[in-house]
Each structure stands twice: as C-alpha cells, then as structure tokens.
Amino acid sequence: MARMKPLSIPEKVLVHLSKIRFDADEEILPDEISQSGIAENVGISRTHVPRAVKELIKVELVSEGKGYTRSGKKRMKIYLITPKGMAKVREIEERLMGQIMPVKIQNTIVQGMTLGQIEKAFHRKIDLFGLAGDEEFLDLDSQWSSGIVDLADSPKPSDFLDREDELEQIKHFLKSRARILVVYGARGMGTSSLVRYFTDLLSDVNILWISMARNHMLKAMEKRLETFAGMVGASAQQLLESRSDALIVFDGYFDVEEEVVEFFSDLVERQEGARLIITCRDSTPSYSR
C-alpha cells in the first residue's frame, strides 16, 4: 500500500512555528518558540533542535533572536518563522494534499483519491501535520471532529502574520452571546484572509462560507444555505433560527440588491440561530447598509 512521505525534522519544526501566534511586541514570549518548547511539541530531543533550526535559518525560513519566555528566568534563544517560511509551509501543505493513499471514512476504506479530494467530498478538514507518515491507511474516522465544513467559496489560505489583535476579537465574538460580527476594511486590506485563517483554527463547528461575489442574488444564497443545511440535518430556516453550532461567513457584502438588504435586515433581528460573520468594505453604499 501507499505510504505518506513523512515530514523531515526541519519541516516539522517549521510547521510547528507556523502555528504559534503572538504579538511581536510582547515582552514575554511563548515557551513554544524556545529550544525546549520546540523539542517538546515536535517530539524530538532538545539536542536535535539547533541542527534543525540551523538548516531553516540558512535558507531564511526562520530567524533567531533572544528573549524572555513565560517559564524562563533569563533571556534565551527564540525562533520566529519568516514570511518566506510561511510560504514554505503552504508548499508543504499543498504537497501533502496531493498525496493519494487509502483512507478509512465512515468505516469504509476509500482508495484512489487525494487528501484534497477527500476534504472536498466529505466536507471535513484533515490535520495534515498530525500524520505520522507510516500508516498503511489514514483513519480519518478517529481524526475528524464532528464539524461539517464547506469552504468551497472561500479564498485560498494565504501567508498570514501579525494580526493577533483582530484574531482575538473574533475569538471573543464566538465566546460571547453576540450572533453577528462585521469585519470591514478597505478593499485589499485582507478582511477575507483574516476570517479565512480564523476558520482553520476551529473544530467541532459547522462552517459555511458564502461568497457574495459568486452568490450576489438572493436565490443563489438561499440555495447554498439549503444545501449546507441538508448536510447538518436541518432545514435552511432551522439553520438560521436555531443552530447555534453553525457559523456562516458572508464574504464581500458590498453593493447588493434590495431583496438581499431585506434578507440581512431579517437576520439582524433574529435573537437565536447560527453565528454570522460578514466581511464588507468600509465604503459600502449607504443604501446597502
């Protein structure tokens, strides 16, 4: 049977560093970016860390510095992923998503599909970097969370740095009792990328992404809602009125028809139901607000 090509130790270190989020201005830094933190999280001996990061520093994927960490009493070496390193992580992800190997899904062995095709077909996210690389088949039944994810309309994940304040605000929204969050900014400022990145951090949440550019007519939006509602065992009305375990992203609200304005006005008045994140430009016409 086919085998996944396992990640090398430097690749594992790079992927680990890509997951650590913090404000670059913080005086006390996460333990995870120190040598001991890297060793513990990657599952290697601390003595192997210097050699691994040396390779990454040489090709400018990681930079080295010194700072205080949360558990340290003195300044120590810390390692930060660079924009070039983030781009490399995306390459690794694309490589893994193109792998073909048997997978166990719903107690059935499925063959002949790439991991990317599996994600799209079953609307689930695969933890690519949690794969050991030596499995005869991937047991996705044990890996997958219960959340159903439809990100077909979403932009492709991009390199992402230094937006911790905004991410914390979105996290706070999901923990609060609020139902609707509006993320706005000038065109090209990355509002869609910010929300797209955030969705990758979630588990056990049913997520639907609706591109307003592709589905600008009300009927098109309603069709997307009905299809997704069927996936989670509900009607579109139930999804909007009572499914608090669902998150719906309406991406790119801008110059819309009156019937769409009325649709969103009705959503705003609802007290319960799916959480909504709406991205829009700060120059949205007044008649669309």
**pLDDT surpassing 50 at residue 287:** no
Distance of CA 141 to the CA centre of its chain: 20
Instruction: Tell me the mean pLDDT in the region 255-282.
Output: 87
Topology of domain 164-288, CATH: Rossmann fold (3.40.50)
Euclidean distance between CA atoms 61 and 81, whole angstroms: 6
CA dihedral defined by 114, 120, 122, 128, rounded to 10 degrees? 60
**pLDDT surpassing 60 at residue 288:** no
pLDDT of residue 180: 92
pLDDT of residue 285: 53
**Whole-model pTM?**
0.57
Residue 44 main-chain phi, psi, to 5 deg = -130, 165
Q: Which residue has the higher pLDDT, 104 or 278?
A: 278
Instruction: Tell me the mean pLDDT in the region 221-238.
Output: 86
Q: For the chain, which residues make up each domain, given as ranges?
A: 9-92, 99-144, 164-288
Tell me how crowded residue 97 is: count the other CB atoms within 10 A of its CB.
15
List pLDDT tens digits, range 17-50.
988 876 656 778 888 899 999 998 888 888 889 9
CATH of domain 9-92: 1.10.10.10
List pLDDT tens digits, range 58-111.
999 999 999 888 877 788 999 999 999 999 998 988 888 888 878 777 678 888
**pLDDT surpassing 90 at residue 163:** no
* Helix-strand-coil split of the chain, %, nearest 5: 40, 20, 40
Distances (CA, A) of 176 to 12, 57, 76, 208, 276: 35, 41, 37, 20, 13
pLDDT of residue 1: 44
